[in-house]
Amino acid sequence: MSVVKESWQTARPTIRERSKFVFNNDLFSDVNFVVQRTAQGGSESKQVIPAHKFVLSISSPVFEAMFYGELAETTDSIELPDCEYDSLLELFRYMYSDEVILSGNNVMGVLYLAKKYMLPSLANKCTKYLQDNLDPSNVFSILPSGQKYEEKSLVDQCWKVIDQQTEEAVKSDGFATIERSLLEAVVVRDTLTIEEIELFKAVDLWATKKCERQSLAADGASKRRILEEHLIKEIRFPTMKLEEFASVVLDSDILTKDEIARVIKHLGSVSSSPVGFPETKRCSLQFDAEIQRCCRIGLLSHSLWNYVYGRTDAISFSADKDIVLHGVCLFGNENATYSVELQVIDSRSGSSVASKTGRFSSELLQGNHYSYHGYKVSLDKKIILRKTTKYDIRVKISGSSSLCGVGGVSSVQCSGVTFTFMNSEYSNSGTNVYGGQFPEIVFSLYKQ
């Protein structure tokens, strides 16, 4: 029993001060937790943290069940092999005082315990700490935990950092150790801000490190087997410069002779045959002060939108001023990826004025009236659309069911431009003025 001064209670007039006093103190303690503690030199030892069942139980339903439920613990010493001393100590500090001391070394452990013992307010503090300290050097260390613990705001912030600072992020130490599923999610992403050759270098290094961890020779065959065919087919070799492809990609020995020949012919403008790899550059769609979004859908629907092979979602529209079309936002679903073929057609002539093909990963987008899971399809170049001219936007989408919208209207004013929406004769998947796809049109005023 600790030796304490008499009348310590009277010197602490609030319940919070008295509770803080008995934190990590064996005064009145009725349970001990035994956890592992790692010293700076790497040595490990077991450490005891005294606690009070009542205090823990009024903060956590898990501890309440542990100590007062039908199968309550009867022992006064509980060993927890799944956590470190520093993390458990901060969990208890928060329970006793509403205070927590977070650091880069303990925050992941505290977040894990906050989830395990059902303290959502502490989990929110951990998430905020991670968001406040998020940068390209640690984003790939933080993102997997955000996904594991279903912290949506943290995950969305991580993807924003990856999109905007891609090259710094993929050159970080954390990128070399990410899971293959996360690597694929990065490679298929259209909104990355990076030259394709730099992304390939990072992917090649990831595969090399993976071979080393598996004690494999880091040759082309082993790296290709580890990366798998689908991921390799998502790398945009046709967008590289010929000298980059020759000096970097060929030396990696990942591609087959036939693939090399097709890419070189494409880069040398010798052949226009399909290359077998995406041919459009990645284009991060930045919503700066000049770029606006016209929201044509008023509400999210409670129904899901299904995609049938060969079907087209389309909408017709015109604007009363000349505009520059930068792209569109489309509805998606959480943690989903979609293959998209988009065309913008001049309805008078039937000619295509823009097109985009690619795979897009859904993220949480903030619209004018609501947030939604969707993705941005940005055009590779700015397209000028003339006033009072009718255009059709058509998309063929492949992927899982997505969100959709209702409450669309035929006329919308946005930043001084009046958009008029009409049903498209090309739409055979259900999209119309009232609802379906195309929640937002991304544009800016045309300035001559």
Indicate which CATH number applies to the domain containing 41. Answer: 3.30.710.10
Interhelix angle 180-187/196-213, rounded to 10 degrees, is 170
Cα 55 → chain centroid: 37
Q: Are residues 311 and 434 in the same domain?
A: yes
Tally of domains in the chain: 3
Q: Are residues 37 and 113 in the same domain?
A: yes
CATH number of the domain that residue 246 is part of: 1.25.40.420
Reduced to 3 states (helix: H, G, I; strand: E, B; else coil), residue 411 is strand
Residue 286 maps to a domain: no
Among the candidates 267, 284, 303, a domain finishes at 267
Based on the number of CB atoms within 10 Å of its own CB, is 26 exposed (0-12), middle (13-18) or buried (19 or more)? middle
Contact 438, 426 (CB under 8 A): no
Among the candidates 105, 132, 159, a domain finishes at 132
- Kind of pairing between the strands at 391-398 and 371-385: unpaired
Instruction: Tell me how far CA of residue 364 lies from CA of 32, 206, 208, 374, in angstroms.
Output: 43, 27, 33, 6
Q: Are residues 128 and 154 in the same domain?
A: no
Residue 280 maps to a domain: no
Among the residue ranges 48-57, 94-103, 277-286, 340-349, the one predicted with the least confidence is: 277-286
Positive or negative, the CA dihedral 39, 42, 46, 52 is positive
Residue 301 maps to a domain: yes
* Mean pLDDT for all residues in the chain: 91
CA dist., res. 147 & res. 150, Å (int): 5
Q: Are residues 33 and 86 in the same domain?
A: yes
pLDDT of residue 284: 59
Q: Which domain holds residue 237?
A: 150-267
Q: Are residues 117 and 214 in the same domain?
A: no
CATH number of the domain that residue 316 is part of: 2.60.120.820
Is the pLDDT at 435 greater than 70? The verdict is: yes
Contact 429, 330 (CB under 8 A): no
Residue 382's pLDDT band, with cuts at 50, 70 and 90, is confident
Amino acid at residue number 221: A
Q: Are residues 312 and 425 in the same domain?
A: yes
Task: Please give the backbone phi and psi of residue 355, each rounded to the nearest 5 degrees, phi first.
Answer: -150, 160
Residue 43's pLDDT band, with cuts at 50, 70 and 90, is confident
CA dist., res. 156 & res. 327, Å (int): 21
Contact 431, 317 (CB under 8 A): no
Residue 142 maps to a domain: no
* Residue keyed to tokens 């030199």: 41
Q: Which helix (H) or strand (E) holds 57?
A: helix 53-57
Contact 362, 372 (CB under 8 A): no
Task: Please give the backbone phi and psi of residue 295, each rounded to the nearest 5 degrees, phi first.
Answer: -90, 115
Q: Are residues 63 and 126 in the same domain?
A: yes
Residue 5 maps to a domain: no
Contact 266, 361 (CB under 8 A): no
pLDDT of residue 70: 87
Q: 402: which 2 tokens?
A: 């997505």
CA dist., res. 116 & res. 128, Å (int): 18
pLDDT of residue 379: 87
Assessment of whether the complete model's pTM goes beyond 0.85: no
Among the candidates 132, 160, 182, a domain finishes at 132
Residue-wise pLDDT tens digits, 55-112: 999 999 999 999 999 888 888 899 999 999 999 999 999 999 999 999 999 999 999 9
CA dist., res. 29 & res. 54, Å (int): 10
pLDDT of residue 283: 66
pLDDT of residue 364: 85
Q: 432: which 2 tokens?
A: 């119309």
Residue-wise pLDDT tens digits, 310-323: 899 999 999 999 99
Q: Are residues 111 and 169 in the same domain?
A: no
Residue 164 maps to a domain: yes
Q: How many CB atoms lie within 10 A of CB 132?
A: 9
pLDDT of residue 1: 42
Q: Are residues 323 and 297 in the same domain?
A: yes
Residue-wise pLDDT tens digits, 213-249: 999 999 999 999 999 999 999 999 999 999 999 999 9
- Helix, strand, coil content of the chain in percent (nearest 5): 35, 25, 40
Is the pLDDT at 282 greater than 90? The verdict is: no
pLDDT of residue 191: 82
* Residue keyed to tokens 């259900």: 430
Q: Which residues, at least 6 apart from 307, have a Cβ–Cβ distance to it below 8 Å?
A: 397, 398, 399, 401, 402, 429
Q: Which helix (H) or strand (E) holds 182?
A: helix 180-187
Higher pLDDT, 335 or 130: 130
Q: How many CB atoms lie within 10 A of CB 217?
A: 10
Q: Are residues 302 and 432 in the same domain?
A: yes
What average pLDDT does this structure show over 192-210?
A: 95
Q: Are residues 247 and 181 in the same domain?
A: yes
pLDDT of residue 298: 86
pLDDT of residue 4: 59
pLDDT of residue 289: 46
Q: 118: which 2 tokens?
A: 């059902």
Residue 46 maps to a domain: yes
Q: Are residues 259 and 351 in the same domain?
A: no
- Kind of pairing between the strands at 292-295 and 405-406: unpaired
